[in-house]
Amino acid sequence: MSPIASCAKNCLGLFEDLVELLRQPAHQDDYGISDAETTDAFGRFKIWAGNIGAFQQIDLKSSLDFRLRDTPKISTQILEILDDLAESLEDGEYFSFGAARNLWETQDDTDGPRVQSEEEEELSEIREIFGSMQDAINNLFRYSMIIRNNTNRDRYAKAAAAAISSPFSNEFDIQHVRHKFPALQSKDYEWLIERLGKAITQRRQYLRYCRSHHDKTWQEPSSKVGPDPTSTLAPTQASTLFLKAGQFIEEEGIEEWQSQTSYATSTDEESNNHALQVIQLEDVSKGLSHFECHYCWQIQTCRNQKAWKKHVLSDLKPYVCTFEDCELKLFSDRQTWFSHELKDHRKEWNCHFCAHFPFDKAAAYYAHLTSHHPHAFTEDQLPALFEMSQKPLLKISPTDCPFCDDWEDRLRAINSHIPAEESLVVTPSQFQHHVGSHMVQLALFAIP
């Protein structure tokens, strides 16, 4: 038994009947709601049902009935919304037909004011019913996003598994990285070129996987009303829904090694007019509050370009670790990626026994301790000493960017107040944004 599929198909039929009624050419302006409004609502309903698998039978794993088989509470709530929608559609058809019939019967009636009052009352009821339809569809979209967000799955892993039988060659993407950022090769970062190229290939596999499931699993009962909505509607392969219910050291004064260092106060990020950009939100959403993303093919609700860009980058997972002794792992947001680098790689240690400049490698700090302060600690105190000596990274040299070799020169050009004899540094946040922007450009290259 597939209760959601049965109710969804019932709503589909009722929608078709109402659209057909409102398309009658002689009376398209007499119903209180336009054919265009109803057709748009019908299209949104089909987007919801198609994307989430509401029309499919429970024996299909991509169906909404199958997905919610272990969450009866959510299933019941969706059924209640579908029942409300069906009732509104039935009422809409009844009142629309009644309003038209009254208009036909009273065209020659001399009792104009009374008829007009009754007519306005009926049209007001039709508008109220149409509002109820819109509310029901909006609630269905909200539940759709709740279901998607609480599903246990890794679509990149599934994409990699699906690509085994038909893999992409990563040579093209590796060559693209090498061509776009020649500084990587000049700095002998061949391993990073390969990692970045393979990451682009993984994104291509992911996008193909999402599109493939979009095309394969779409199923809609035969429709009497055409054409279909502009968006191609389909659920991706479904998964079962699971509801989820130190010591501080006193800061020392500024040391001599810090006195000749200056921070860049201005940067020149994203000044390149040829940089790849995320497609504009209005070109995808067409003004709708809920729409299908043409990358992951799932329902999204983004209120502005910033939120839409965040979603697209989350799909593409643009960021990878830039340290060799780390695995190829894709990060979906800049903060998570750079937090990983700061926690696991970008560390520095301050010596508590002298004013030596910070050490960026544990081995160098250990060599300093054993050669300059051998009697200041015991061997079993080393772990605690290392932990206490580690400080948050407060500055990074722009020359540490693996992607370009002229960032410091460009920063000096727009920060002319910094003397040439002083070291120029950037904050971790500035460095994160700069390097992250390079990786975003490579990620966007994966989009067909």
pLDDT, tens digit, 9 for 90 and up, residues 234-287: 333 444 444 444 323 233 333 444 445 566 665 665 556 678 999 999 999 988
Question: pLDDT for 43-95, tens place per residue?
Answer: 889 988 888 888 888 888 878 888 888 888 989 999 999 999 999 998 888 77
Peptide bond into 227 cis (omega under 30): yes
Residues 6+ apart with CB under 8 A from 360: 347, 348
Contacts of 365 (CB under 8 A, 6+ apart): 349, 351, 359, 386, 389
* Parallel, antiparallel or unpaired: strands 423-425 and 261-263: parallel
What does pTM read for this prediction? Answer: 0.72
Q: Residues 254, 423: contact at Cβ < 8 Å?
A: no
Can you list the alpha helix ranges (DSSP code H) found in 68-217?
A: 72-105, 112-149, 155-162, 171-180, 182-186, 190-217
If one compares 155 and 268, the residue with the highest pLDDT of the two is 155
pLDDT at 108 over 70: no
- Give me the pLDDT at residue 261, please: 57
Which residues touch 170 (CB under 8 Å, ≥6 apart)?
Answer: 197, 198, 200, 201
**pLDDT value at 369 more than 50:** yes
DSSP letters spanning 299-357: EE--SSHHHHHHHHHHHH--B----TTS----BSSHHHHHHHHHHHTS-EE--SSS-PP
**How far is the C-alpha of 46 from the C-alpha of 40, rounded, in Å?**
10
Which is more confidently placed, 232 or 278?
278
The residue with greater pLDDT, 273 or 431, is 431
What percentage of the chain exceeds 90 in pLDDT? Answer: 41
223 pLDDT exceeds 90?
no
Q: In the predicted model, is pLDDT for residue 128 greater than 80?
A: yes
Q: Which two three-digit tokens encode residue 11? A: 């709503």
